[in-house]
Amino acid sequence: MTYHDQNITIIGQGYVGLQLAVAFSKEITVIGYDLDISRITELQRNYDRYEEVPEQILKSCKVEFTTDPSSLNNADAIIVAVPTPVDKDNTPDLRPLENACISIGHALRVRASSSKPLIVFESTVYPGCTEDYCVPIIENESGLTSSKDFTVGYSPERVNPGDTEHTLSNVIKIVSGQDHITCERLANLYSHVAKSGVHKASSIKTAEAAKVIENIQRDLNIALMNELAFLFNELGIETSSVLEAASTKWNFLQFKPGIVGGHCIPVDPYYLTYIAKQIGFNPEVILAGRHTNNTMPEKLAIQIKKLYSNAAKDVKGSHILILGATYKENVKDFRNTPVVELNNKLITYGANVVVYDPLASSEDLEHLGLKPAPSDVLGYENSFDCLILAVPHKDLAQMTYKQYVSLLNTHNAAGIILDIKGVLKPDSRDDIIYWRL
Question: Catalytic residue numbers?
Answer: 264
Q: What are phi and psi of 65, to 5 degrees?
A: -90, 130
Give the closest residue to 369 by CA, choosing from 349, 385, 393, 353: 353
Nearest 5°: the CA angle 192, 25, 125 is 70
Give the closest residue to 259 by CA, choosing from 219, 286, 214: 219
d(CA 315, CA 227): 25
Give me the residues paired with residue 66 across strands.
33
Concatenating the DSSP letter of every residue in 103-126 gives HHHHHHHT----S--EEEE-S---
Q: Within 10 A of 1 (CB to CB), how many other CB atoms are there?
A: 8
d(CA 114, CA 120): 19
Q: Which residues, including other chains, have CB under 8 Å from residue 217's CB and lie 6 or more apart?
A: none
Give the closest residue to 205 by CA, choosing from 167, 159, 152: 152
